[in-house]
Structure 1
Amino acid sequence: MIFDESKQPSIIVPLTGTTTQMLIDQAREAELAGADVLEWRIDFMIGAHQNLSFTSMGREIIEPILAETTTPLLLTIRTMEQGGQVKLTDGRYRILLAEMLDTLKYLQVPAERIGIDLEFRFDGTPDLSARAHELGYTVVVSHHDWIETPDSELVNLLLDSIMELDGVIPKLAVTPQSDDDVDRLLEVTRKVSRERKRPIIALSMGELGRRSRIEGWKYGSIATFATVGEGSAPGQPTMTELRDALDSGN
């Protein structure tokens, strides 16, 4: 697994560059800043260069990043409906992710350094998840709610539904309307992580949910996000802010 469960929490830093050199520079900077995982947000690249295939991006970007760093790499194509940069049909999403897995296998990248983020809403996710798991990659299955924080029962059901997929790490990001929403998410995270004894990533977005990114590990969320330069979602603290908060025990 690319996440170190002894960390409190593992810190993921997004890479949002739209050229190979930008991504390599961001990866080096993030590693020097202390990132535990680098997340290549591939949708930023696809959004800037339409009709790119993953096959063409793999050797030009993945190999140099892995060569220039020692930090695990989480590969994410975040769609517009989930807060990303590209709008994709189910078929196009499936093709891109299948190309990703084919390219990684061809490049023979070390499986212990690779994570794959799959969006729960796509019909192809169960099959893609199973294949990525067979190849030895860490699989994160994510869902983002940009409108609200569902009630606790629905959050619980959603996490349970994701965990029906063998060996995946559920990631749930929701939008709070009040401090109570943040508290509810944290308490459900605590309950599910203890009962299911499975790693979970859960957070509230935006400024209101900022404390969930800092305190979530106390409730069982194994990872959080921080920025080194440009962020990828509202409410992400900088690496310095997050380190300071964690070091102070907050």
Structure 2
Amino acid sequence: MSTIIKKMEAEHIQRPLICAPLVGKTFAAIKEELFVITKKQPGLIEWRVDFFEELHKTESVIETGKWIKENAKGIPVLFTRRSTREGGEPISLNEEQVTDLYVSVMKADVIDAVDVELSSPEEAKETILSLAKEKEIQTVMSFHDFSKTPEKEALLAVLKQAQEEGGDVGKIALMPQSLHDVLIVAEVTEEANRELTIPIITMSMGPKGALSRLFGGAFGSAVSFAVGQTASAPGQIAIDQLERVLDVIDGSQV
């Protein structure tokens, strides 16, 4: 499998991969957005397909996915349907139809990685993970809470669950109610990166959580999400601004 998202070395401050979201509602909007994003050269593009108005048309999704891959200038593509239960856009598909869409897209060889929510039905997770392994597509097992930041032990358990269920990457995104919550996520990140064998992605959201997008990599978060043209979650920072901060952090390690 081509490992796009790589595990951070414990006890070493490393630069995280920058991922830019693609959230256009139409093919025309996606074309415009991708043109802007590729000029900024992020390490990963996340296609948030729950924003796409033709999500219910599998062939349209596949054809759009092919166009994205052909025009992404070699940048890998992460395919994500975020459910409403975890902060995504409302869609007309039920869970079974979402699984069928994932299967069709993976078989079409137009994506490099897929996001699979840990809260998804067990059968859906098993189907997607099995095919992803066969197709050598990296899987990101994710958990999002847009209302709060759970306790440290609960967050560590979520990341361990991602590994135990066979995910290639574990991801958590939480909403902080205080700066202390941001510190909890940093602590979880450092501990999970040391204890688990898979890469992890962590972040706090919103204005307070924006700090975690700047220094998360120093604690072991493998990816930081940044705005290419349009944000997909609260607290995302523009790519050029994030790059400047990461440059400063890199420079301090010399």
TM-score by length of 2: 0.88
Pick aligned residue for 2:82 from 72, 78, 85: 78
Post-superposition Cα deviations, 1:204-234, rounded to whole Å, max 9, x if no partner, equal 1111111111111111100011102211000
Return the alpha-carbon distance in structure 1 between the equivalents of residues 229 and 131 of structure 2. Answer: 34
Aligned residue in 1 for 2:25: 18
Instruction: Report the Cα offset of residue 167 of structure 1.
Output: 4.5
Instruction: Give the share of equivalent positions with the same residue, in percent.
Output: 30
Return the alpha-carbon distance in structure 2 between the equivalents of residues 4 and 159 of structure 1. Answer: 16
Q: How does 1:160-175 map to 2 (within 5 A)?
A: 160-175=160-175
Q: How does 1:43-54 map to 2 (within 5 A)?
A: 43-45=50-52, 48-49=53-54, 52-54=56-58
Aligned residue in 2 for 1:64: 67
2:139 equivalent to 1:139: yes
Instruction: Report the Cα offset of residue 101 of structure 1.
Output: 2.2
RMSD: 1.9
Q: Which runs of 5+ in 1 are unaligned?
A: none
Q: Which runs of 5+ in 2 are unaligned?
A: 9-13
Aligned residue in 2 for 1:115: 113
Instruction: Report the Cα offset of residue 54 of structure 1.
Output: 2.5
- Runs (4 or more) in structure 1 with deviation over 4 Å come to 4-7
The secondary structure found in structure 2 opposite 1:201 is strand
Post-superposition Cα deviations, 1:159-206, rounded to whole Å, max 9, x if no partner, equal 111111225201100111111111111111111111123200010111
Aligned residue in 1 for 2:36: 29
Return the alpha-carbon distance in structure 2 between the equivalents of residues 167 and 41 of structure 1. Answer: 19
- The answer to whether the 8 A contact 1:78-1:86 is kept is no
How many residues matched? 239
Return the alpha-carbon distance in structure 1 between the equivalents of residues 76 and 173 of structure 2. Answer: 22
2:71 equivalent to 1:55: no
Return the alpha-carbon distance in structure 2 between the equivalents of residues 121 and 4 of structure 1. Answer: 24
* Amino acid paired to 1:77: R
Aligned residue in 1 for 2:48: 41
The secondary structure found in structure 2 opposite 1:118 is strand
TM-score by length of 1: 0.89
Aligned residue in 2 for 1:103: 108
Aligned residue in 2 for 1:3: 5
Q: Which has the higher contact order (CA 8 A, sep 6+)?
A: 2
- The answer to whether the 8 A contact 1:133-1:167 is kept is no
* Amino acid paired to 1:62: G
- The answer to whether the 8 A contact 1:55-1:100 is kept is no
- The answer to whether the 8 A contact 2:36-2:229 is kept is no
Post-superposition Cα deviations, 1:23-78, rounded to whole Å, max 9, x if no partner, equal 12322321211211111111100xx34x623233212x122222222110111111
* Amino acid paired to 1:13: A
Return the alpha-carbon distance in structure 1 between the equivalents of residues 115 and 58 of structure 2. Answer: 15
Aligned residue in 2 for 1:227: 227
